[in-house]
Structure 1
Amino acid sequence: MQRKNVLAYGYVGIALVVFLFPIFWVMFTSIKTPVQAFQIPPVWIFKPTLENYAIVFSRQPFVYYFFNSFIVTALSTALSIVSGTLAGYSLARFRIKGQKWVTFTVFFTKMFPPIVLVVPFFIMFRQVGGTDNLWTLTLAYTSFNLPFVIWLMWGFLKELPESLEEAASIDGTSRFGAMWRIMLPLAKPGVAVAAIFCCMNSWNEFLFALNLTGTHAKTLPVMAANFVTQEAILWGPVTAAGTMLMIPMFIFTLLIQKHLVQGLTMGAVK
Protein backbone atom coordinates (compact mmCIF):
# COMPACT_ATOMS: atom_id res chain seq x y z
CA MET A 1 0.00 0.00 0.00
CA GLN A 2 1.35 3.36 -1.00
CA ARG A 3 2.18 5.98 1.56
CA LYS A 4 -0.49 8.40 0.33
CA ASN A 5 -3.12 5.68 0.69
CA VAL A 6 -2.01 5.05 4.26
CA LEU A 7 -2.26 8.76 5.02
CA ALA A 8 -5.69 8.94 3.40
CA TYR A 9 -7.01 6.03 5.48
CA GLY A 10 -5.44 7.58 8.56
CA TYR A 11 -7.19 10.92 7.99
CA VAL A 12 -10.49 9.17 7.36
CA GLY A 13 -10.06 7.10 10.53
CA ILE A 14 -9.36 10.20 12.62
CA ALA A 15 -12.39 11.96 11.17
CA LEU A 16 -14.61 8.95 11.91
CA VAL A 17 -13.40 8.83 15.50
CA VAL A 18 -14.04 12.55 16.00
CA PHE A 19 -17.55 12.46 14.52
CA LEU A 20 -18.70 9.06 15.79
CA PHE A 21 -17.31 9.19 19.33
CA PRO A 22 -20.14 11.41 20.72
CA ILE A 23 -22.71 9.04 19.22
CA PHE A 24 -21.08 5.97 20.75
CA TRP A 25 -20.72 7.82 24.06
CA VAL A 26 -24.47 8.50 24.14
CA MET A 27 -25.24 4.87 23.29
CA PHE A 28 -22.85 3.51 25.93
CA THR A 29 -24.22 5.86 28.58
CA SER A 30 -27.77 4.73 27.81
CA ILE A 31 -26.95 1.14 28.86
CA LYS A 32 -25.05 2.09 32.03
CA THR A 33 -26.31 2.42 35.56
CA PRO A 34 -26.37 5.93 37.12
CA VAL A 35 -23.23 5.10 39.15
CA GLN A 36 -21.35 3.90 36.06
CA ALA A 37 -22.48 6.94 34.03
CA PHE A 38 -20.85 9.37 36.50
CA GLN A 39 -17.79 7.28 37.27
CA ILE A 40 -14.38 8.89 36.60
CA PRO A 41 -12.39 7.57 34.81
CA PRO A 42 -15.13 6.25 32.53
CA VAL A 43 -16.04 2.57 32.72
CA TRP A 44 -15.51 0.81 29.38
CA ILE A 45 -16.19 -2.77 30.44
CA PHE A 46 -19.49 -3.23 32.23
CA LYS A 47 -22.67 -5.30 32.22
CA PRO A 48 -25.25 -3.57 29.98
CA THR A 49 -28.63 -2.72 31.44
CA LEU A 50 -31.92 -1.67 29.84
CA GLU A 51 -33.13 0.11 32.96
CA ASN A 52 -32.88 3.54 31.36
CA TYR A 53 -35.04 2.47 28.40
CA ALA A 54 -37.60 1.03 30.81
CA ILE A 55 -37.72 4.38 32.62
CA VAL A 56 -38.37 6.20 29.33
CA PHE A 57 -41.29 3.94 28.44
CA SER A 58 -42.75 3.88 31.94
CA ARG A 59 -42.62 7.62 32.67
CA GLN A 60 -43.52 8.98 29.22
CA PRO A 61 -45.96 7.85 26.50
CA PHE A 62 -43.08 7.25 24.11
CA VAL A 63 -45.14 5.54 21.38
CA TYR A 64 -47.65 8.41 21.28
CA TYR A 65 -44.92 11.04 20.95
CA PHE A 66 -43.14 8.88 18.38
CA PHE A 67 -46.19 8.90 16.12
CA ASN A 68 -46.52 12.66 16.61
CA SER A 69 -42.93 13.15 15.42
CA PHE A 70 -43.41 10.69 12.56
CA ILE A 71 -46.60 12.35 11.28
CA VAL A 72 -45.20 15.88 11.49
CA THR A 73 -41.91 14.88 9.86
CA ALA A 74 -43.60 12.96 7.03
CA LEU A 75 -46.14 15.69 6.27
CA SER A 76 -43.68 18.59 6.42
CA THR A 77 -41.15 16.71 4.28
CA ALA A 78 -43.78 15.82 1.65
CA LEU A 79 -45.12 19.38 1.50
CA SER A 80 -41.61 20.85 1.32
CA ILE A 81 -40.45 18.49 -1.43
CA VAL A 82 -43.54 18.93 -3.61
CA SER A 83 -43.79 22.71 -3.22
CA GLY A 84 -40.03 23.29 -3.33
CA THR A 85 -39.56 21.16 -6.44
CA LEU A 86 -42.33 22.97 -8.33
CA ALA A 87 -40.99 26.37 -7.24
CA GLY A 88 -37.40 25.42 -8.10
CA TYR A 89 -38.48 24.18 -11.52
CA SER A 90 -40.38 27.43 -12.16
CA LEU A 91 -37.34 29.54 -11.25
CA ALA A 92 -35.07 27.36 -13.42
CA ARG A 93 -37.25 27.28 -16.54
CA PHE A 94 -39.44 30.39 -16.62
CA ARG A 95 -38.34 34.00 -17.00
CA ILE A 96 -40.55 36.25 -14.90
CA LYS A 97 -40.36 39.93 -14.02
CA GLY A 98 -38.35 40.52 -10.88
CA GLN A 99 -37.05 36.96 -10.83
CA LYS A 100 -33.78 37.95 -9.16
CA TRP A 101 -35.63 39.65 -6.32
CA VAL A 102 -37.92 36.66 -5.90
CA THR A 103 -34.93 34.34 -5.74
CA PHE A 104 -33.10 36.61 -3.32
CA THR A 105 -36.17 36.87 -1.06
CA VAL A 106 -36.54 33.10 -0.93
CA PHE A 107 -32.90 32.63 0.00
CA PHE A 108 -32.93 35.56 2.43
CA THR A 109 -35.69 33.99 4.53
CA LYS A 110 -33.33 31.11 5.32
CA MET A 111 -30.98 33.52 7.06
CA PHE A 112 -33.41 34.24 9.90
CA PRO A 113 -32.57 32.27 13.06
CA PRO A 114 -35.49 30.17 14.36
CA ILE A 115 -35.52 31.99 17.72
CA VAL A 116 -36.63 35.17 15.90
CA LEU A 117 -39.67 33.44 14.39
CA VAL A 118 -40.97 31.57 17.44
CA VAL A 119 -42.91 34.47 18.98
CA PRO A 120 -44.58 35.61 15.70
CA PHE A 121 -45.56 32.03 14.91
CA PHE A 122 -46.98 31.55 18.40
CA ILE A 123 -49.04 34.75 18.22
CA MET A 124 -50.42 33.94 14.76
CA PHE A 125 -51.38 30.37 15.60
CA ARG A 126 -52.87 31.35 18.96
CA GLN A 127 -55.13 33.92 17.31
CA VAL A 128 -56.58 31.28 15.00
CA GLY A 129 -56.71 28.62 17.72
CA GLY A 130 -54.02 26.52 16.12
CA THR A 131 -51.63 25.85 19.00
CA ASP A 132 -50.97 22.36 20.32
CA ASN A 133 -51.88 20.42 17.19
CA LEU A 134 -49.87 18.59 14.57
CA TRP A 135 -50.86 20.89 11.70
CA THR A 136 -49.29 23.82 13.52
CA LEU A 137 -45.90 22.10 13.65
CA THR A 138 -46.28 20.83 10.09
CA LEU A 139 -46.81 24.34 8.71
CA ALA A 140 -44.01 25.76 10.85
CA TYR A 141 -41.51 23.10 9.78
CA THR A 142 -42.53 23.44 6.14
CA SER A 143 -41.97 27.21 6.29
CA PHE A 144 -38.30 26.92 7.21
CA ASN A 145 -37.59 23.77 5.15
CA LEU A 146 -39.06 25.22 1.96
CA PRO A 147 -36.36 27.84 1.16
CA PHE A 148 -33.62 25.21 1.28
CA VAL A 149 -35.57 22.82 -0.97
CA ILE A 150 -36.28 25.60 -3.49
CA TRP A 151 -32.62 26.62 -3.57
CA LEU A 152 -31.39 23.03 -3.90
CA MET A 153 -33.84 21.95 -6.60
CA TRP A 154 -33.36 25.20 -8.51
CA GLY A 155 -29.64 24.46 -8.67
CA PHE A 156 -30.14 20.88 -9.82
CA LEU A 157 -32.84 21.58 -12.39
CA LYS A 158 -31.03 24.63 -13.81
CA GLU A 159 -28.05 22.47 -14.80
CA LEU A 160 -30.18 19.97 -16.73
CA PRO A 161 -30.37 20.69 -20.48
CA GLU A 162 -33.66 22.07 -21.77
CA SER A 163 -33.18 20.05 -24.95
CA LEU A 164 -34.47 16.99 -23.10
CA GLU A 165 -37.80 18.70 -22.47
CA GLU A 166 -37.92 19.99 -26.02
CA ALA A 167 -37.43 16.45 -27.33
CA ALA A 168 -40.21 15.22 -25.06
CA SER A 169 -42.56 17.99 -26.24
CA ILE A 170 -41.95 16.94 -29.86
CA ASP A 171 -43.16 13.46 -28.87
CA GLY A 172 -46.37 15.01 -27.50
CA THR A 173 -45.48 15.18 -23.81
CA SER A 174 -46.79 18.12 -21.82
CA ARG A 175 -44.45 20.34 -19.81
CA PHE A 176 -45.59 18.76 -16.56
CA GLY A 177 -45.16 15.30 -18.05
CA ALA A 178 -41.63 16.14 -19.19
CA MET A 179 -40.78 17.43 -15.74
CA TRP A 180 -42.26 14.36 -14.03
CA ARG A 181 -40.87 11.68 -16.35
CA ILE A 182 -37.53 13.20 -17.39
CA MET A 183 -36.37 16.05 -15.18
CA LEU A 184 -37.20 14.58 -11.78
CA PRO A 185 -35.43 11.23 -12.38
CA LEU A 186 -32.32 13.14 -13.41
CA ALA A 187 -32.62 15.39 -10.35
CA LYS A 188 -33.13 12.45 -7.99
CA PRO A 189 -29.90 13.19 -6.04
CA GLY A 190 -31.26 16.63 -5.21
CA VAL A 191 -34.61 15.19 -4.14
CA ALA A 192 -32.87 12.64 -1.91
CA VAL A 193 -30.64 15.27 -0.29
CA ALA A 194 -33.62 17.59 0.25
CA ALA A 195 -35.64 14.75 1.77
CA ILE A 196 -32.84 13.83 4.17
CA PHE A 197 -32.38 17.46 5.19
CA CYS A 198 -36.11 18.05 5.74
CA CYS A 199 -36.56 14.83 7.70
CA MET A 200 -33.61 15.44 9.99
CA ASN A 201 -34.50 19.09 10.49
CA SER A 202 -38.12 18.28 11.37
CA TRP A 203 -37.40 15.15 13.40
CA ASN A 204 -34.79 16.81 15.63
CA GLU A 205 -36.45 20.23 15.94
CA PHE A 206 -36.95 21.32 19.55
CA LEU A 207 -37.57 25.07 19.79
CA PHE A 208 -40.82 25.27 17.81
CA ALA A 209 -42.11 22.00 19.25
CA LEU A 210 -41.52 23.30 22.78
CA ASN A 211 -43.30 26.62 22.27
CA LEU A 212 -46.11 25.65 19.88
CA THR A 213 -47.30 22.48 21.62
CA GLY A 214 -48.73 21.56 25.00
CA THR A 215 -49.63 17.96 25.74
CA HIS A 216 -51.37 16.59 22.64
CA ALA A 217 -48.85 17.48 19.90
CA LYS A 218 -45.65 17.03 21.89
CA THR A 219 -42.79 15.41 19.95
CA LEU A 220 -39.87 13.20 20.96
CA PRO A 221 -37.25 15.96 21.45
CA VAL A 222 -39.57 17.73 23.89
CA MET A 223 -40.26 14.43 25.62
CA ALA A 224 -36.53 13.81 26.06
CA ALA A 225 -36.14 17.26 27.64
CA ASN A 226 -38.57 16.25 30.39
CA PHE A 227 -35.78 14.22 31.98
CA VAL A 228 -33.86 17.44 32.62
CA THR A 229 -35.37 18.37 35.98
CA GLN A 230 -34.71 21.17 38.44
CA GLU A 231 -32.97 18.76 40.79
CA ALA A 232 -30.72 16.94 38.34
CA ILE A 233 -30.21 15.78 34.78
CA LEU A 234 -31.17 12.13 34.43
CA TRP A 235 -28.40 11.25 32.02
CA GLY A 236 -29.43 7.61 31.68
CA PRO A 237 -32.99 8.26 30.43
CA VAL A 238 -31.84 11.30 28.41
CA THR A 239 -29.25 9.26 26.51
CA ALA A 240 -31.70 6.38 26.11
CA ALA A 241 -34.26 8.74 24.56
CA GLY A 242 -31.53 10.28 22.41
CA THR A 243 -30.47 6.86 21.16
CA MET A 244 -34.03 5.98 20.18
CA LEU A 245 -34.30 9.36 18.47
CA MET A 246 -31.29 8.59 16.27
CA ILE A 247 -32.42 5.15 15.13
CA PRO A 248 -35.28 6.20 12.75
CA MET A 249 -33.13 8.79 10.97
CA PHE A 250 -30.27 6.30 10.70
CA ILE A 251 -32.56 3.74 9.08
CA PHE A 252 -34.07 6.36 6.77
CA THR A 253 -30.63 7.49 5.61
CA LEU A 254 -29.59 3.90 4.90
CA LEU A 255 -32.73 3.32 2.86
CA ILE A 256 -32.43 6.47 0.79
CA GLN A 257 -28.68 6.53 0.21
CA LYS A 258 -28.99 4.16 -2.77
CA HIS A 259 -31.05 6.81 -4.56
CA LEU A 260 -28.18 9.26 -4.17
CA VAL A 261 -25.80 6.94 -6.03
CA GLN A 262 -28.45 5.73 -8.48
CA GLY A 263 -29.45 9.25 -9.38
CA LEU A 264 -25.88 10.17 -10.23
CA THR A 265 -25.69 7.37 -12.78
CA MET A 266 -29.09 8.12 -14.35
CA GLY A 267 -28.07 11.54 -15.62
CA ALA A 268 -26.29 10.36 -18.76
CA VAL A 269 -27.86 11.57 -21.99
CA LYS A 270 -28.20 8.72 -24.48
Structure 2
Amino acid sequence: MKTKKFVWNRLLDILTYLLLIISIFPIAWMVLTSLKTSWDAQALPPVWAFVPTLENYISLFTNKSSSNPFGSLLWNSTIVSLVSTVLSVVFGALAAYSLSRFRLKKGKDIAIWILSTRMFPPAATLVPVFMMMSWFNLIDTYAALIIPYTAFNLSFVVWMLKGFFDDIPVDLEEAATVDGCSRMSAFTRIILPLVAPGLAATAIICLMFSWNEFMFALVLSRNDAVTAPVIANQFVTMYGVKWGELTAASTLMTAPVLFFAILVRNHMIKGLTMGSVK
Protein backbone atom coordinates (compact mmCIF):
# COMPACT_ATOMS: atom_id res chain seq x y z
CA MET A 1 0.00 0.00 0.00
CA LYS A 2 2.84 2.38 0.82
CA THR A 3 4.50 1.66 -2.53
CA LYS A 4 1.26 2.29 -4.44
CA LYS A 5 0.71 5.52 -2.53
CA PHE A 6 4.29 6.64 -3.24
CA VAL A 7 3.94 5.88 -6.97
CA TRP A 8 0.57 7.63 -7.12
CA ASN A 9 1.96 10.75 -5.42
CA ARG A 10 4.90 10.85 -7.83
CA LEU A 11 2.55 10.57 -10.81
CA LEU A 12 0.50 13.45 -9.43
CA ASP A 13 3.68 15.49 -9.01
CA ILE A 14 4.67 14.82 -12.63
CA LEU A 15 1.19 15.75 -13.84
CA THR A 16 1.31 18.96 -11.79
CA TYR A 17 4.66 19.95 -13.28
CA LEU A 18 3.41 19.20 -16.79
CA LEU A 19 0.35 21.39 -16.28
CA LEU A 20 2.59 24.11 -14.85
CA ILE A 21 4.88 23.98 -17.89
CA ILE A 22 1.89 24.10 -20.26
CA SER A 23 0.53 27.13 -18.41
CA ILE A 24 3.80 29.05 -18.29
CA PHE A 25 5.03 28.20 -21.80
CA PRO A 26 2.90 30.82 -23.68
CA ILE A 27 4.09 33.57 -21.30
CA ALA A 28 7.72 32.46 -21.63
CA TRP A 29 7.36 32.32 -25.42
CA MET A 30 5.91 35.86 -25.44
CA VAL A 31 8.77 37.26 -23.35
CA LEU A 32 11.46 35.48 -25.39
CA THR A 33 9.96 36.67 -28.68
CA SER A 34 9.88 40.24 -27.40
CA LEU A 35 13.66 40.03 -26.85
CA LYS A 36 14.42 38.87 -30.41
CA THR A 37 15.21 40.99 -33.42
CA SER A 38 12.51 41.46 -36.03
CA TRP A 39 14.21 38.88 -38.27
CA ASP A 40 14.53 36.26 -35.51
CA ALA A 41 10.92 36.82 -34.38
CA GLN A 42 9.68 36.03 -37.91
CA ALA A 43 11.97 33.04 -38.46
CA LEU A 44 10.56 29.57 -39.16
CA PRO A 45 11.47 27.25 -37.57
CA PRO A 46 11.79 29.36 -34.40
CA VAL A 47 15.22 30.56 -33.35
CA TRP A 48 16.12 29.30 -29.87
CA ALA A 49 19.70 30.56 -29.62
CA PHE A 50 19.79 34.34 -30.02
CA VAL A 51 21.30 37.48 -28.54
CA PRO A 52 18.65 39.33 -26.48
CA THR A 53 17.85 42.85 -27.58
CA LEU A 54 15.56 45.63 -26.40
CA GLU A 55 14.92 47.07 -29.84
CA ASN A 56 11.24 46.09 -29.77
CA TYR A 57 10.66 47.90 -26.47
CA ILE A 58 12.58 50.95 -27.69
CA SER A 59 10.52 50.95 -30.88
CA LEU A 60 7.30 51.00 -28.84
CA PHE A 61 8.18 54.18 -27.01
CA THR A 62 9.95 55.94 -29.89
CA ASN A 63 7.58 55.11 -32.74
CA LYS A 64 6.90 58.51 -34.31
CA SER A 65 4.52 57.09 -36.90
CA SER A 66 1.91 56.48 -34.21
CA SER A 67 -0.17 59.36 -32.83
CA ASN A 68 -0.35 57.60 -29.46
CA PRO A 69 2.95 56.92 -27.65
CA PHE A 70 2.83 53.65 -25.77
CA GLY A 71 3.54 55.41 -22.49
CA SER A 72 0.35 57.46 -22.81
CA LEU A 73 -1.62 54.31 -23.61
CA LEU A 74 -0.37 52.66 -20.42
CA TRP A 75 -1.31 55.80 -18.50
CA ASN A 76 -4.83 55.74 -19.97
CA SER A 77 -5.20 52.06 -19.08
CA THR A 78 -4.05 52.76 -15.52
CA ILE A 79 -6.55 55.57 -14.98
CA VAL A 80 -9.49 53.73 -16.52
CA SER A 81 -8.74 50.45 -14.74
CA LEU A 82 -8.15 51.93 -11.29
CA VAL A 83 -11.15 54.29 -11.34
CA SER A 84 -13.55 51.64 -12.67
CA THR A 85 -12.28 49.09 -10.14
CA VAL A 86 -12.70 51.49 -7.20
CA LEU A 87 -16.20 52.50 -8.30
CA SER A 88 -17.22 48.88 -8.85
CA VAL A 89 -15.98 47.77 -5.43
CA VAL A 90 -17.50 50.76 -3.59
CA PHE A 91 -20.96 50.58 -5.18
CA GLY A 92 -20.90 46.78 -5.28
CA ALA A 93 -20.02 46.52 -1.59
CA LEU A 94 -22.93 48.78 -0.62
CA ALA A 95 -25.36 46.83 -2.82
CA ALA A 96 -24.09 43.45 -1.58
CA TYR A 97 -24.38 44.57 2.05
CA SER A 98 -27.95 45.72 1.46
CA LEU A 99 -28.94 42.41 -0.13
CA SER A 100 -27.25 40.49 2.68
CA ARG A 101 -28.61 42.38 5.69
CA PHE A 102 -31.88 44.10 4.75
CA ARG A 103 -35.16 42.35 4.08
CA LEU A 104 -35.93 44.00 0.78
CA LYS A 105 -39.17 43.43 -1.05
CA LYS A 106 -38.39 40.91 -3.79
CA GLY A 107 -34.75 40.96 -2.71
CA LYS A 108 -34.10 37.56 -4.32
CA ASP A 109 -35.53 38.79 -7.61
CA ILE A 110 -33.25 41.82 -7.48
CA ALA A 111 -30.22 39.61 -6.79
CA ILE A 112 -31.08 37.29 -9.69
CA TRP A 113 -31.62 40.27 -11.99
CA ILE A 114 -28.18 41.61 -11.06
CA LEU A 115 -26.67 38.20 -11.80
CA SER A 116 -28.52 38.00 -15.14
CA THR A 117 -26.65 41.05 -16.40
CA ARG A 118 -23.50 38.92 -16.27
CA MET A 119 -25.00 36.08 -18.29
CA PHE A 120 -25.15 37.76 -21.69
CA PRO A 121 -22.02 38.73 -23.64
CA PRO A 122 -20.88 42.36 -23.33
CA ALA A 123 -20.74 42.53 -27.14
CA ALA A 124 -24.56 42.52 -27.16
CA THR A 125 -24.55 45.95 -25.50
CA LEU A 126 -21.82 47.50 -27.64
CA VAL A 127 -24.15 49.32 -30.07
CA PRO A 128 -26.50 50.74 -27.37
CA VAL A 129 -23.55 51.85 -25.25
CA PHE A 130 -21.93 53.51 -28.25
CA MET A 131 -25.17 55.37 -29.04
CA MET A 132 -25.56 56.52 -25.44
CA MET A 133 -22.00 57.80 -25.29
CA SER A 134 -22.51 59.61 -28.58
CA TRP A 135 -25.66 61.31 -27.31
CA PHE A 136 -23.83 62.54 -24.22
CA ASN A 137 -20.76 63.53 -26.27
CA LEU A 138 -18.49 61.24 -24.25
CA ILE A 139 -16.77 59.38 -27.09
CA ASP A 140 -12.98 59.36 -26.67
CA THR A 141 -13.12 60.29 -22.98
CA TYR A 142 -12.22 58.36 -19.86
CA ALA A 143 -15.89 58.36 -18.82
CA ALA A 144 -16.85 56.48 -21.99
CA LEU A 145 -14.77 53.52 -20.77
CA ILE A 146 -15.12 53.87 -17.00
CA ILE A 147 -18.94 53.80 -17.05
CA PRO A 148 -19.40 50.51 -18.99
CA TYR A 149 -16.47 48.83 -17.20
CA THR A 150 -18.02 49.73 -13.85
CA ALA A 151 -21.45 48.53 -14.95
CA PHE A 152 -20.14 45.17 -16.17
CA ASN A 153 -18.10 44.59 -13.02
CA LEU A 154 -20.93 45.48 -10.62
CA SER A 155 -22.83 42.21 -10.94
CA PHE A 156 -19.68 40.20 -10.27
CA VAL A 157 -18.75 42.36 -7.27
CA VAL A 158 -22.24 42.16 -5.76
CA TRP A 159 -22.41 38.40 -5.90
CA MET A 160 -18.86 37.88 -4.69
CA LEU A 161 -19.17 40.21 -1.70
CA LYS A 162 -22.69 39.11 -0.79
CA GLY A 163 -21.31 35.67 0.03
CA PHE A 164 -18.65 37.22 2.26
CA PHE A 165 -21.16 39.40 4.09
CA ASP A 166 -23.47 36.41 4.63
CA ASP A 167 -20.66 34.60 6.47
CA ILE A 168 -20.25 37.40 9.03
CA PRO A 169 -22.56 37.08 12.08
CA VAL A 170 -25.08 39.87 12.55
CA ASP A 171 -24.23 39.81 16.27
CA LEU A 172 -21.04 41.77 15.55
CA GLU A 173 -23.02 44.68 14.11
CA GLU A 174 -25.55 44.55 16.93
CA ALA A 175 -22.71 44.71 19.47
CA ALA A 176 -21.24 47.67 17.60
CA THR A 177 -24.56 49.55 17.64
CA VAL A 178 -24.82 48.95 21.38
CA ASP A 179 -21.40 50.61 21.73
CA GLY A 180 -22.69 53.67 19.86
CA CYS A 181 -21.87 52.90 16.22
CA SER A 182 -24.32 53.81 13.48
CA ARG A 183 -25.17 51.36 10.72
CA MET A 184 -22.66 52.96 8.35
CA SER A 185 -20.00 53.23 11.05
CA ALA A 186 -20.37 49.54 11.88
CA PHE A 187 -20.16 48.74 8.18
CA THR A 188 -16.93 50.68 7.65
CA ARG A 189 -15.21 49.89 10.96
CA ILE A 190 -16.30 46.31 11.64
CA ILE A 191 -17.59 44.59 8.49
CA LEU A 192 -15.22 45.88 5.80
CA PRO A 193 -12.01 44.98 7.71
CA LEU A 194 -13.36 41.45 8.18
CA VAL A 195 -14.02 40.99 4.47
CA ALA A 196 -10.74 42.63 3.40
CA PRO A 197 -9.45 39.41 1.74
CA GLY A 198 -12.68 39.18 -0.23
CA LEU A 199 -12.40 42.81 -1.26
CA ALA A 200 -8.83 42.24 -2.41
CA ALA A 201 -9.72 39.17 -4.48
CA THR A 202 -12.70 40.91 -6.05
CA ALA A 203 -10.72 44.06 -6.82
CA ILE A 204 -7.93 42.07 -8.51
CA ILE A 205 -10.36 40.28 -10.82
CA CYS A 206 -12.13 43.55 -11.69
CA LEU A 207 -8.77 45.20 -12.34
CA MET A 208 -7.76 42.39 -14.70
CA PHE A 209 -11.02 42.68 -16.63
CA SER A 210 -10.72 46.45 -17.02
CA TRP A 211 -7.01 46.35 -17.87
CA ASN A 212 -7.36 43.66 -20.56
CA GLU A 213 -10.65 44.82 -22.14
CA PHE A 214 -10.23 45.43 -25.86
CA MET A 215 -13.55 45.65 -27.69
CA PHE A 216 -15.12 48.64 -25.91
CA ALA A 217 -11.79 50.46 -25.80
CA LEU A 218 -11.48 50.03 -29.58
CA VAL A 219 -14.97 51.32 -30.36
CA LEU A 220 -15.40 54.04 -27.72
CA SER A 221 -11.99 55.72 -28.05
CA ARG A 222 -10.33 57.59 -30.89
CA ASN A 223 -7.14 59.32 -29.79
CA ASP A 224 -7.17 60.81 -26.28
CA ALA A 225 -8.57 57.86 -24.30
CA VAL A 226 -7.05 54.94 -26.22
CA THR A 227 -5.86 52.18 -23.88
CA ALA A 228 -2.92 49.82 -24.25
CA PRO A 229 -4.75 46.71 -25.60
CA VAL A 230 -5.94 48.69 -28.63
CA ILE A 231 -2.36 49.05 -29.87
CA ALA A 232 -2.39 45.36 -30.84
CA ASN A 233 -4.28 46.35 -34.00
CA GLN A 234 -1.36 48.44 -35.22
CA PHE A 235 0.97 45.43 -35.38
CA VAL A 236 -1.30 43.34 -37.60
CA THR A 237 -0.76 44.81 -41.06
CA MET A 238 -1.46 43.77 -44.62
CA TYR A 239 2.20 42.81 -44.94
CA GLY A 240 2.22 40.53 -41.89
CA VAL A 241 2.33 40.59 -38.11
CA LYS A 242 5.07 42.49 -36.30
CA TRP A 243 5.63 39.78 -33.71
CA GLY A 244 8.50 41.48 -31.94
CA GLU A 245 6.65 44.71 -31.14
CA LEU A 246 3.39 42.87 -30.52
CA THR A 247 4.94 40.57 -27.91
CA ALA A 248 6.83 43.49 -26.34
CA ALA A 249 3.56 45.40 -25.92
CA SER A 250 1.87 42.28 -24.56
CA THR A 251 4.68 41.76 -22.05
CA LEU A 252 4.41 45.34 -20.79
CA MET A 253 0.64 45.01 -20.50
CA THR A 254 0.89 41.70 -18.64
CA ALA A 255 3.64 42.66 -16.19
CA PRO A 256 1.79 45.25 -14.00
CA VAL A 257 -1.23 43.06 -13.32
CA LEU A 258 0.97 39.99 -12.78
CA PHE A 259 3.22 41.77 -10.27
CA PHE A 260 0.20 43.24 -8.49
CA ALA A 261 -1.43 39.81 -8.20
CA ILE A 262 1.83 38.37 -6.81
CA LEU A 263 2.06 41.13 -4.20
CA VAL A 264 -1.47 40.53 -2.92
CA ARG A 265 -1.61 36.78 -3.60
CA ASN A 266 -2.13 35.94 0.08
CA HIS A 267 -5.20 38.15 0.30
CA MET A 268 -6.44 36.78 -2.99
CA ILE A 269 -6.16 33.16 -1.83
CA LYS A 270 -7.88 33.98 1.47
CA GLY A 271 -10.64 35.80 -0.36
CA LEU A 272 -11.30 33.03 -2.86
CA THR A 273 -11.32 30.31 -0.17
CA MET A 274 -13.17 32.29 2.50
CA GLY A 275 -16.20 30.34 3.67
CA SER A 276 -15.24 27.20 1.73
CA VAL A 277 -15.05 25.10 4.90
CA LYS A 278 -18.54 26.17 5.88
Structure 2: gaps (5+ residues)? none
Matched, 1:18 2:26: no
* 2:99 match: 91
The alignment's TM-score, normalised by the length of structure 1, stands at 0.93
Aligned-partner Cα distance in 1 for 2:179–2:14: 53
Instruction: Choose the corresponding residue for 2:121, options 87, 102, 113.
Output: 113
RMSD of Structure 2 on Structure 1 (CA)? 1.9
Aligned-partner Cα distance in 2 for 1:120–1:261: 37
Matched, 1:82 2:82: no
Write out per-residue CA displacement over residues 72-115 of structure 1, whole angstroms, 9 at most, x where no aligned residue: 00100000000001100000000111111101110000112111
Write out per-residue CA displacement over residues 128-156 of structure 1, whole angstroms, 9 at most, x where no aligned residue: 11100011101111010111000100111
Instruction: Choose the corresponding residue for 2:61, options 57, 65, 68.
Output: 57
Instruction: Choose the corresponding residue for 1:232, options 240, 246, 257.
Output: 240
Aligned-partner Cα distance in 2 for 1:238–1:252: 22
Deviation, structure 1 residue 206: 0.3
Instruction: Choose the corresponding residue for 1:248, options 244, 256, 260.
Output: 256
Instruction: Choose the corresponding residue for 2:146, options 117, 138, 141.
Output: 138
| Partners of 2:198 and 2:270 within 8 A in 1 | no
The alignment's TM-score, normalised by the length of structure 2, stands at 0.90
Change in Cα spacing, 1:266 to 1:140, as seen in structure 2 (3 Å) is closer
Q: Give aligned pairs, total.
A: 267
Aligned residue type for 2:7:
R
Aligned-partner Cα distance in 2 for 1:166–1:98: 25
Structure 1 stretch 31-40 or stretch 247-256: which is displaced more? 31-40
Deviation, structure 1 residue 262: 6.6
Change in Cα spacing, 1:18 to 1:99, as seen in structure 2 (3 Å) is same
* 1:185 match: 193
Deviation, structure 1 residue 4: 4.1
SS at match of 1:226: helix
Deviation, structure 1 residue 265: 11
Structure 1: gaps (5+ residues)? none
SS at match of 1:223: helix
Deviation, structure 1 residue 224: 2.7
* 1:159 match: 167
